[in-house]
Amino acid sequence: MTTVESLRTPGAMRDAERWTAHNYHPLPVVVAEAEGAWVTDVDGRRYLDCLSGYSALNFGHRHPGLIAAAHAQLDRLTLTSRAFVHDQFADFCHELAELCGKELVLPMNTGAEAVETAIKVARKWGYQVKGVPAEQATIVVAEGNFHGRTTTIVSFSTDPEARNDFGPYTPGFRIVPYGDLAAIAAAIDDTTVAVLLEPIQGEQGVVVPPAGYLPGVRELCTQQNVLFVADEIQSGLGRTGETFACDHEGVRPDMYLLGKALGGGIVPVSAVAADKNVLGVLRPGEHGSTFGGNPLACAVGTEVVRLLRTGEFQTRSAELGAHLHSALRGLLGQGLVAVRGRGLWAGIDIDPSLMTGRQACERLAERGVLAKDTHGSTIRLAPPLMIEADEVDWAIEQLTAVLR
Ligand SMILES: Cc1ncc(COP(=O)(O)O)c(C=O)c1O
């Protein structure tokens, strides 16, 4: 018989808390194994994963094709550094460039590194191609953004938790309200090299901008000779029901920033994709990373691109996403006050008089559903794209019970 004393979770939670910096506040779940949309904890309890590693697990846990690609590569070659070329590199860059409809790819590891890469490339493009005076480049960004955790990136965050006490801050960013085209137009001047945006703001609570905003940004950037940089690190690679969230409005940015799901939930892989007139500004020695574009990352990343080229995951996300959103809308007034999102990606606001987002996630976990609050009473739902319709229904049943 399992008694509370024999459970391994409390001790494992205590040990984790004892030995790490407290830069996260995890739910009391200690995961030991996972397959597909389900994880199992150290005490044998199963949970439906409705967070998917912040969309890094779009294909589910341990997708057989991705695991096979990783295993095959582990047995051959794992690291060279970019001092040499390896036999997985060109295929990955070629396939990803084609998926993005761009001429070149620059692989890195984490999402924040892709964002940093884009900032450097946009600035250099500004000085060398656009003719911005030295050291004057500005980049327009949006309020409520989340682009990562480096000192430069938190310099233009509007979230006090992410930013406060980490100064001095990097200059060169102009922050405008998200979804406001006129504000971007007003912020652009001769020094502006880029507009950097999430096409849907994930960490902010899966905030979808008004229709016409992204095409408007595209047009403005083209008119003003400014690069449109789309951070699709969380929104891209099938999450919203299209390959890229920009596709919903037929928009093609100058730079795509990708990460998370590009590593198949196995290794950190990120990338910047752009044409030669943009990425071509970099010369040897100006940028790089020891692990960026390593053989294991490329082998897994190539398989990720092949999975996306089938279109299966985009279709599943669109169809099951419609199902998820209609079920969630049915809970409006029944404990939910707002539902946003696209595809299998939803931001839901719990009625704050009932409970916080954190409390809702704790109660969901007790019922076998893993989700994570973003802030306040907002929860983000992002199940793996291979989830089945009856599993979506089951998750909604658990949410309904939690809100009751
Ligand atoms: C839109 C967006 N950009 C960048 C990042 C940073 O990615 P990473 O945590 O891999 O550095 C994130 C992470 O949540 C993100 O959602």
Q: What is the pLDDT of residues 24-65, one digit of tens each?
A: 999 999 999 999 999 999 999 999 999 999 999 999 999 999
DSSP at 210: P
CA 233–ligand 1 middle distance (angstroms): 6
Is residue 165 flagged as an active site residue?
no
List for the chain the helix, strand, coil content (%; round to 5): 40, 20, 40
Query: How far are the Cα atoms of 172, 177, 179, 204, 253 from residue 209, in angstroms, in the given order?
Result: 24, 11, 5, 12, 16
Region 235-249 average pLDDT = 98
Ligand 1 probe mutation, 161, 237, 260, 272, most atoms within 8 A of CB:
260
Which pLDDT belongs to residue 370? 98
Q: Answer yes or no: is pLDDT of 2 > 60.
A: no
Per DSSP bridges, beta strands 38-41 and 46-49 are antiparallel
Separation of first and last alpha carbons in the chain: 31
pLDDT in tens, 270-304: 999 999 999 999 999 999 999 999 999 999 999 99
| Ligand 1 binding pocket mutation candidate from 147, 152, 374 (most atoms within 8 A of CB) | 147
The CA-atom distances, in angstroms, between 363 and each of 8, 22, 79, 301 are 20, 22, 43, 35
Provide the 3-class DSSP secondary structure of residue 265.
Answer: coil
pTM of the predicted structure, to 2 decimals: 0.98
Please name the residue that has the structure tokens 């971007």: 184
* Helix (H) / strand (E) containing 85: none
Summarize pLDDT for 332-375 with one digit per residue, the tens. 999 999 999 999 999 999 999 999 999 999 999 999 999 999 98
pLDDT digits (tens, 9 = 90+) for 191-204: 999 999 999 999 99
The C-alpha torsion from 344 through 348 and 32 to 37, rounded to 10°, is -20
DSSP 324: H
- Write out the two tokens for 307: 């999975």
Q: How far is the CA of 259 from the centre of ligand 1 (A)?
A: 7
CA of residue 202 to ligand 1 center, whole Å: 9
**Residue 232 CA to ligand 1 centre (angstroms):** 9
> Across all residues in the chain, what is the average pLDDT?
97
pLDDT level of residue 5 (50, 70, 90 thresholds): confident
CA 15 to chain centre: 29
Neighbours of 16 (CB within 10 A): 12
How many whole angstroms separate alpha carbon 316 and alpha carbon 389? 10
**Distance between CA atoms of residues 111 and 105, nearest Å:** 14
- The per-residue pLDDT for 4 is 67
What pLDDT, on a 0 to 100 scale, did the predictor assign at position 1? 53
Q: What residues does ligand 1 touch, defined as CB less than 6 Å away?
A: 54, 110-112, 115, 146-148, 198, 202-203, 231, 233-234, 259
* 241-268: average pLDDT: 98
Active site residue 313: no
Query: In this structure, what token pair is assigned to residue 304?
Result: 């990720």
Q: Is 231 a catalytic residue?
A: yes
Kindly report the backbone phi and psi dihedral angles of residue 89, in degrees, each rounded to the nearest multiple of 5, phi listed first: -70, -55
Peptide bond into 168 cis (omega under 30): yes
pLDDT at residue 52 in the model: 98
Contact predicate 264/289, CB 8 Å: no
